[in-house]
Amino acid sequence: MTANDNTTRFGDRADAYAKGRAGYADAAIDYLAAMLPEGGKAADIGAGTGLVAEALLARGIEVAAVEPNDAMRAKAAARLGHDHRFAAVSGSAEATGLADDSVDLIVAGSAFHWFDADAFRRECARIGKPSVGVALLYHVRGDDEFTRRQCEICREYCIGFSSLCNGFTKTLPRLDSFFPDGWQRLDFDCPLLYTRDSFVARSLSSSYAPPVDDPRHAKYRAALEALMDEFALPERFTVSNQTMLLWGRI
């Protein structure tokens, strides 16, 4: 996997990402917002379509949303560009393009596992004010029968699939070296509300999902629809989930 793959691989999934991805627990965002001084600024790294940025803006925080993928960054700008406190920045975790000592908090939502951790740590130290807080957010699904069946479908149709919380599990072993002075983990209940269409979109937005031109794509969609029928799910439904907040200071 090259750095270029990591920054371009979601370009054909921006629509599905915008339609299907859910924000993080309000309590987790409130916890982060409380870290900032009045008038503070946050950097949302690997911002995607702007889920974290949007939540921070709603709490009165200025946000620089750093995203290397043009299609994803355009989605964020279209949604949030009307707010003068928001800036969409073309940059990567390892080279954000932000000024030295310019931010009070650095956040990455479901993205850290794609980063070069050492280079990202150096960039955090550069752009962050002294002892800047760095927060990593992840969704972690529950262990229920619906989720187990969904994983079976993913294993059948999605090359490279390992679990629905692969990013989180890949991140945990890297934390002691990334936060040598210690880190904290906080768990927040965050059931995910979907429509049938947004659940399919969320599934198709994943890096391992077969792209539209792959013969498995239609079969994967059909299997997801059949799964919802199997469990007799209504048009709107929730799935068990938690937001995991991992944070420390650089």
d(CA 238, CA 139): 14
Q: Where are the domains of the chain?
A: 3-142+164-192+239-249
pLDDT in tens, 16-61: 878 889 999 999 999 999 999 999 999 999 999 999 999 999 999 9
* CA angle, residues 72, 15, 25, in degrees to nearest 5: 75
| 3-142+164-192+239-249 under CATH 3.40.50.150, yes or no | yes
Specify the amino acid at residue 233: L
Which are the contacts of 145, defined by CB distance < 8 A and separation ≥ 6? none
CB 111 within 8 A of CB 24: no
d(CA 162, CA 185): 23
Cα-based distances in Å from 185 to 21, 138, 246, 248: 22, 11, 5, 9
More confident residue, 87 or 11: 87
The pTM of this model reads 0.93
> What's the N-to-C CA distance of the chain in angstroms?
27
Specify the amino acid at residue 198: S
Taking alpha carbons only, the member of 108, 175, 101 closest to residue 138 is 108
d(CA 227, CA 146): 8
pLDDT in tens, 181-237: 999 999 999 999 999 999 999 999 999 999 999 999 999 999 999 999 999 999 999
Handedness of CA 247, 165, 206, 159 (dihedral sign): positive
Residue 21 CA neighbour count, 13 Å, CB half: 26
* Average pLDDT value for residue range 66-86: 96
